Amino acid sequence: MKLLHLALAGALFLGAAITNAVAADDDFLTIQLKDGPVVIQLMPEVAPKHVAQIKELAKAGEYDNVAFHRVIDGFMAQTGDVEFGDMENGFNARRAGTGGSKLPDIPAEFSKTPFERGTVGMARSQNPNSANSQFFIMFDQGPFLNGKYTVVGKVVSGMEAVDKIKRGEGGNGEVSDPDRMIKVTVGKN
């Protein structure tokens, strides 16, 4: 019986160590919004190339002050256009959503991870291998996106701040005078 308890305790310890290893501090992204911080647990085991690019852009400050240029109630809030979406350095409402970063586009890393409330996915053009810097946060489920867009993470705290992001108007969700990501950092800050 003692051996069973020791084996169980060892398994629990090992499980906790694996969980902590998977969820290292640099596997989180913190986005400061006007209504508070949003913490996203990134999923490098699901989309390693996309997660690496997001981290690189965040560490370089590229996401700071970038607008939520497309926000559709009941669907998602899209941001991350570092080329045309910077609210302090020449936000271009007409072109927001069409730009990326100076880094190369990333080949698709589709998975079986479903699009649910709080899921973070990469935006792209019709070309599945065109994701670059833009991403979106789901307000609700989006099963029609499953296996067609790359999942990079999930909101683990601050979804109430995401829910307060200013919505767009019309079918495409373009936002006039949009909310922005004030500061984006790697880690749970």
CATH number assigned to the domain comprising residue 123:
2.40.100.10
Q: Is the pLDDT of residue 94 over 80?
A: no
| The pLDDT of residue 97 | 87
| The pLDDT of residue 28 | 98
Residue 164 lies in a domain: yes
Q: Is the pLDDT of residue 4 over 50?
A: no
Tell me which H or E stretch contains 40.
Answer: strand 36-42
| The pLDDT of residue 2 | 43
| The pLDDT of residue 188 | 87
Domain that holds residue 155: 25-186
Residue 155 lies in a domain: yes
Reported confidence tier of residue 16, pLDDT bands at 50, 70, 90: very low
| The pLDDT of residue 95 | 86
| The pLDDT of residue 24 | 81
Instruction: Report pLDDT digits (tens) over 21-80.
Output: 456 888 999 999 999 999 999 999 999 999 999 999 999 999 999 999 999 999 999 999
Q: Going by C-beta distance under 8 Å and a sequence separation of 6 or more, which residues neighbour residue 122?
A: 47, 50, 106, 131, 134, 135, 136, 149, 150, 152
Mean pLDDT of 136-145: 98
**Range in 7-16, 68-77, 155-164 the model is least confident about:** 7-16
C-alpha atoms less than 13 angstroms from C-alpha of 177 in its C-beta half-sphere: 0
Strands 70-72 and 66-67: unpaired
Residue 12 lies in a domain: no
Residue 36 lies in a domain: yes
Q: Which two tokens stand for residue 63?
A: 């996401």
Residue 1 lies in a domain: no
Residue 8 lies in a domain: no
Q: 13 burial class (0-12, 13-18, 19+ CB within 10 angstroms)?
A: exposed
Share the mean pLDDT of the chain: 89
pLDDT above 70 covers what percent of the chain? 88
Q: What is the total count of domains within the chain? A: 1
Rounded to two decimals, the pTM is: 0.87
Residue 151 lies in a domain: yes
CA quadruple 181, 175, 125, 105: dihedral, nearest 10: -20
CA distance 107 to 122: 11
Q: Which of 125, 123, 23, 11 is nearest to 72 (CA)?
A: 123
| The pLDDT of residue 90 | 76
Which amino acid would we find at residue 24? A
| The pLDDT of residue 22 | 52
Residue 11 lies in a domain: no
Q: Which of 31, 34, 92 is nearest to 62 (CA)?
A: 31
Q: Is the pLDDT of residue 121 over 50?
A: yes
Q: Taking a C-beta distance cutoff of 8 angstroms, is the pair 37, 28 a contact? A: no
